[in-house]
């Protein structure tokens, strides 16, 4: 395939071809990080921000040859460098839909004694809730570690994990920026001296979110729907209660995190509206893996993975009978919730 040309410039990176016809204004809107490229290469001195309606090639053509020479600007080299930069940043930030994770398939290994695991394969899909049940120390954390590291038979369990039905490449396995799993532990202790707004805004900036004000609004609103007691943008994160901290992190993970899988450890102890928390996560197309000892939560899940002796002993779909039992458990939970609220408010109960 011959190299793509735009005016007098030869583009070596064919992945960048669809970008070349967009105006600078369009590119800035989609990829705000290119402003850093312009600044670092002193293109702002040459009027790039005043010529946003032009394509990048059009901007380069508008620079007088003598001005380009004085600025030591090689237009062809700058043209290639610019589009290479966008392509590389898209890959680094996982902004390319073709690389999105749609499913995770787990292939069996062995338990602690070396016996084969009791399943053929498990496929996890977005917007699905999976409960992980088993005694303390049974191997729930090991299962999540295998998924997070996209195991290839090279972990103690000898399991293998496929991403989108394929063996994941090394870049995905060891990416610090785009981890497969976002883990929310029981204790969320903040050590940064930031307000809630500053915390959310920093995460939004790191994800190159264009409308950071909307991100702050959306995360705070979602967090307050989960928390038992409201908090505000100016509240220091170090002043949040355990339930408030957990609600903030769940909302932040659902709305801003790129990780397709979310692990929540014992959400029943979080002091939040756990059902709303799960609904929020699946509404954002997350795969939710929930380690729990709560029977209502285990039955609320679409499936539950039973862990024994370090291995997966069973994979059970929640039956119609179990869903009927769940409705009864939820009614009991509602009674307990109302009693707890009444006691907290100093009311008498009977």
Distance of alpha carbon 59 from alpha carbon 66, whole angstroms: 15
pLDDT in tens, 110-143: 999 999 998 999 999 988 999 999 988 888 888 8
C-alpha 272 chain-centroid distance: 21
Mean pLDDT, all residues of the chain: 85
| Residue percentage of the chain with pLDDT more than 90 | 36
8 Å CB contact between 284 and 205: no
pLDDT of residue 297: 86
Contact in structure between 333 and 268 (CB atoms under 8 Å): no
DSSP state of 339: H
Write out pLDDT tens, residues 303-350.
Answer: 999 999 999 999 999 999 998 898 888 888 888 878 888 888 888 987
Q: Return the pLDDT at 269.
A: 54
d(CA 89, CA 170): 18
| Six-digit token string for 305 | 């993975």
Tens digits of per-residue pLDDT, 247-291? 999 999 999 887 888 888 766 655 677 788 888 988 888 889 988
**pLDDT at res. 6:** 52
Instruction: Give bridge partners of residue 132 from the DSSP assignment.
Output: 291, 305
pLDDT at residue 1, rounded to an integer: 35
Q: What is the DSSP letter of 41?
A: T
Q: Mean of the pLDDT values across residues 168-174?
A: 65
Whole-angstrom Cα distance, residue 14 to residue 255?
33
Cα separation, 209 vs 256, whole angstroms: 9
| Residue 334 half-sphere exposure toward CB, CA atoms < 13 A | 6
* pLDDT digit string, tens, across residues 81-101: 998 888 878 766 655 554 577
- The torsion defined by the Cα of 65, 67, 70 and 73, in degrees rounded to 10, comes to -70
pLDDT of residue 8: 67
pLDDT of residue 181: 79
> What local confidence, expressed as pLDDT, does residue 101 receive?
79
Q: According to the model, what pLDDT value does residue 3 have? A: 42
pLDDT tens digits for range 184-221: 766 666 667 899 999 999 988 877 787 889 999 999 99
Cα separation, 212 vs 223, whole angstroms: 16
Would you say residue 241 has pLDDT above 60?
yes
Q: How does DSSP assign 116-177, residue by residue?
A: BPS-S-EEEETTEEEEEE--TTSSHHHHHHHHHTT-BS-STT--EEEETTBPPPHHHHT-SS
Please give the pLDDT value at position 314. 92
């Amino acid at each position: 395939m011959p190299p793509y040309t735009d005016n007098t410039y030869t583009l070596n990176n064919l992945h960048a071809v669809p970008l070349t016809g967009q105006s600078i204004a369009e590119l800035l809107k989609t990829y705000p990080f290119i402003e850093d490229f312009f600044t670092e290469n002193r293109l702002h001195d040459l009027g790039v921000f005043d010529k946003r309606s032009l394509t990048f090639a059009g901007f380069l053509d508008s620079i007088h040859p003598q001005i380009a020479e004085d600025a030591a600007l090689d237009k062809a080299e700058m043209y290639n460098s610019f589009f290479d930069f966008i392509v590389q940043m898209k890959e680094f930030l996982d902004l390319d839909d073709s690389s999105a994770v749609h499913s995770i398939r787990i292939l069996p290994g062995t338990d602690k004694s070396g016996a084969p695991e009791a399943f053929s394969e498990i496929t996890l899909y977005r917007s699905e809730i999976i409960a992980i049940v088993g005694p303390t120390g049974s191997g729930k954390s090991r299962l999540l570690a295998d998924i997070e590291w996209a195991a290839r038979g090279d972990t103690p369990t000898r399991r293998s994990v496929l991403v989108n039905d394929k063996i994941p490449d090394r870049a995905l396995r060891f990416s610090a920026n785009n981890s497969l799993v976002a883990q929310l532990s029981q204790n969320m202790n903040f050590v940064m001296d930031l307000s809630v707004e500053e915390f959310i805004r920093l995460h939004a900036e790191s994800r190159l979110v264009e409308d950071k004000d909307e991100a702050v609004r959306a995360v705070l609103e979602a967090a307050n729907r989960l928390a038992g007691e409201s908090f505000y943008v100016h509240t220091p994160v170090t002043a949040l209660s355990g339930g408030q901290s957990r609600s903030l992190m769940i909302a932040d993970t659902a709305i801003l995190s790129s990780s397709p899988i979310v692990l929540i450890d014992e959400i029943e102890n979080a002091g939040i509206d756990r059902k709303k928390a799960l609904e929020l996560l699946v509404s954002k197309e997350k795969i939710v893996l929930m380690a729990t000892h709560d029977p209502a939560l285990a039955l609320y899940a679409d499936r539950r993975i039973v862990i024994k002796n370090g291995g997966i002993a069973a994979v059970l779909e929640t039956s119609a009978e179990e869903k009927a039992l769940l409705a009864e458990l939820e009614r009991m939970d509602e009674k307990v919730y109302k009693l707890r609220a009444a006691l907290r408010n100093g009311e008498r109960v009977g």
